[in-house]
Amino acid sequence: MELKYEFYINAGLEEVWSALISPDGTRSSFFGSELRSNFQPGQPFAYVGPGNDGQETVHVYGQILEFEPLSTLSYLEHPGPSYHANHEELQSRVSFQLETVGECTKLTLINDQFTENHPSFANAQQSWWMILSSIKSWVETGKTLQFGW
C-alpha cells in the first residue's frame, strides 16, 4: 500500500521547508501539533499537541530516517499511544521531497511500508489531503485552513 501526493506551492524551498519542520509551520498544518526532534537520522521524533491526552498528546512518533535540509525529510512512524493499544506494532514510512520547479516548489509526499491491516491507513488517505492543502495555503497566504474541528 502506498499513498503518493504531489503539490505545487507558489513559494521557495525555504518557506515550504519551514512549514514542514518549524513549530509555527507544523502547528498550522498538522492539526495543531509541533514536530519535536533533533532531526538526526536514527533519532526519535514526535508530533505533539492538543488531543486525547491534553495539550501534550503524542499523535505520531517514531524514528528519523533521512534529513537533508531544503530537500528531504523521511521517518518511520507509529500512531500515538492513545490511538491504538498496539501502537508499537503499527508502522509506516513517510517521505517528504522538495524540488524547485520554475518559481515554485514541488512537494511530494509518499506514505508507504504500512504494517499489514494498519488501522490508520484509511485515515491517512484522507488526512494527507487536508495536511498538504493546509501547508500550501499557509505558505502562500499566511493563513491556515479551518476544518471545523
CATH code for the domain in which residue 133 is found: 3.30.530.20
Q: Is 147 within a domain?
A: no
- Using the Cα atoms of residue 46, residue 109, residue 66 and residue 143 in order, give the sign of their dihedral: negative
The C-alpha cell at 74 is 523521511
pLDDT of residue 148 exceeding 90, the answer is no
Residue 69, domain extent? 3-141
Q: Is 76 within a domain?
A: yes
64-89 pLDDT tens trace: 999 999 999 999 999 998 888 899 99
Q: Is 146 within a domain?
A: no
What rounded mean pLDDT belongs to the chain?
A: 94
Decide which of 55 and 147 is more confident.
55
pLDDT of residue 140 exceeding 70, the answer is yes
Decide which of 54 and 71 is more confident.
71
Decide which of 51 and 91 is more confident.
91
Q: Is 109 within a domain?
A: yes
What's the pLDDT score for residue 52?
A: 86
SS (H, E, C) the chain: CCEEEEEEECCCHHHHHHHHHCHHHHHHHCCCCEEEECCCCCCEEEEEEEECCEEEEEEEEEEEEEEECCCEEEEEEEECCCCCCCHHHCCEEEEEEEEEECCEEEEEEEEECCCCCCCCHHHHHHHHHHHHHHHHHHHHHCCCCCCCC
Q: Is 87 within a domain?
A: yes
Q: Is 114 within a domain?
A: yes
111 vs 35: CA distance, rounded Å? 17
93-122 pLDDT tens trace: 999 999 999 999 999 999 999 999 899 898
pLDDT band at 149 (very low <50, low <70, confident <90, very high): low
Q: Work out how many domains the chain is built from and give that number.
A: 1
Torsion angles phi and psi, residue 94, rounded to 5 = -120, 130
What's the pLDDT score for residue 133?
A: 94
Q: Is 69 within a domain?
A: yes
Q: Is 75 within a domain?
A: yes
